[in-house]
């Protein structure tokens, strides 16, 4: 078996410090340029010459470079070096919503209704921005994320919510086109129109965010089944229980919002993500602690995943800065 490729030492203006994540089509490294610390998403070495993988990555770079919203991961630049394509983004310290959800399940805890609604409202605001972006000529890109789920929602230690991973996003002018019969996204977080291969619009993302909200507030999976075929059937025609029948004391107003987000007939669904965010914020405004989400999020992360904040903060230590290029061994 061939040895794993060594990580690059430098990409563009960034020194590579460490590998911090990997999976799918890419690897994520910690990068530094002077005082700036970033996350570098890099096409995997074994896919560096795969045209489909590169096209998909360049499509994502084109999209994320145009996004500028507090609830979407911030992109600084993208480029290529040593035949490796990379995207430099802000380094997020915290955990995915999936990690938080799993920790709650393990500890037999539940997320608060107001915290869940606040997280979903912030994701909806990020989606609304993404759905409305235009190209350099002012033409709408018609972006649809197609992969809104707990693994692509990040919760930070400073109380922010960030939507990320636009690798499967549908936009006008993509280099990499989806083949007929191929469905993009995690099966248990698809919208029914994706299963039926209908033309998609932004309401598909609203359904998948609705699925995520239903799961956050019930601590149960909605459509996931033991095998893929049954999961697809569940998304298409399976029951969508009223959360009030699942969780005692579930707020009526929140249940109505969840139901509207999860309408299988998209004409009855929220027409856009801004309307969903507005209804969630109206619900929160009447909650006993209207600002509980941002205030409680750091405490929630520290309680569920003790020790992780210190480990991640270690990435920022000056001792992690690599030696200057002039003092490094030759790479030739």
Ordered by where they begin, the domains of the chain are 10-91 (3.30.200.20), 94-304 (1.10.510.10)
Residues that are catalytic: 147
Compute the distance between CA of residue 85 and CA of residue 50 in angstroms, rounded to an integer: 12
CB-CB neighbours of 323 under 10 Å: 9
Task: Give the span between the Cα atoms of 185 and 188, in whole angstroms.
Answer: 9
Q: Which helix (H) or strand (E) holds 16?
A: strand 14-23
Long-range contact list for 305-312, CB < 8 A, 24+ apart?
305/95, 305/99, 305/100, 305/103, 308/95, 309/93, 309/157, 312/93, 312/94, 312/157
Gap between the Cα atoms of 159 and 156, Å rounded: 5
Give me the pLDDT at residue 5, please: 62
Using one digit for the tens of pLDDT, what is the confidence trace for 34-43?
Answer: 989 999 999 9
pTM, entire model:
0.90
Q: How many CB atoms within 10 Å of residue 134?
A: 13
Q: How confident is the model at residue 329 (pLDDT cuts 50, 70, 90)?
A: very low
321 band by pLDDT with thresholds 50, 70 and 90: very low
């Amino acid at each position: 078996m061939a040895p794993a490729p060594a990580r690059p030492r430098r990409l563009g203006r960034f020194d590579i410090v460490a590998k911090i994540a990997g999976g799918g089509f890419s690897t994520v490294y910690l990068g530094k340029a002077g005082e700036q610390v970033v996350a570098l998403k890099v096409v995997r070495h074994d896919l560096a010459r795969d045209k489909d993988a590169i096209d998909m990555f360049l499509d994502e770079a084109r999209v994320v470079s145009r996004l500028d919203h507090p609830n979407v991961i911030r992109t600084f630049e993208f480029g290529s070096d040593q035949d490796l394509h990379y995207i430099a983004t802000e380094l997020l310290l915290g955990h995915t919503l999936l990690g938080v959800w799993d920790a709650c399940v393990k500890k037999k805890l539940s997320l608060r209704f107001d915290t869940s609604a606040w997280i979903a409202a912030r994701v909806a605001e990020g989606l609304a921005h993404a759905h409305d972006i235009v190209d350099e000529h002012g033409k709408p890109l018609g972006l649809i994320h197609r992969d809104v789920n707990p693994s692509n929602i990040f919760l930070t230690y400073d109380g922010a919510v960030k939507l990320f991973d636009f690798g499967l996003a549908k936009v006008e002018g993509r280099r990499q086109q989806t083949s007929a019969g191929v469905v993009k996204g995690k099966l248990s977080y698809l919208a029914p129109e994706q299963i039926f291969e209908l033309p998609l619009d932004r309401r598909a993302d609203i359904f998948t965010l609705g699925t995520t909200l239903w799961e956050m507030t019930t601590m149960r999976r909605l459509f996931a089944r033991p095998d893929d075929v049954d999961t697809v059937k569940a998304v298409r025609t399976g029951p969508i229980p009223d959360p009030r029948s699942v969780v005692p004391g579930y707020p009526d107003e929140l249940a109505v919002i969840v139901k509207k987000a999860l309408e299988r007939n998209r004409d009855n669904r929220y027409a856009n993500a801004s309307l969903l965010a507005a209804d969630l914020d109206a619900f929160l405004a009447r909650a006993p602690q209207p600002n509980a989400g941002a205030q409680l999020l750091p405490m929630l992360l520290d309680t569920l995943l003790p020790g992780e904040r210190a480990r991640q903060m270690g990435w920022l230590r000056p001792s992690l800065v690599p030696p200057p290029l002039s003092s490094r061994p030759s790479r030739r």
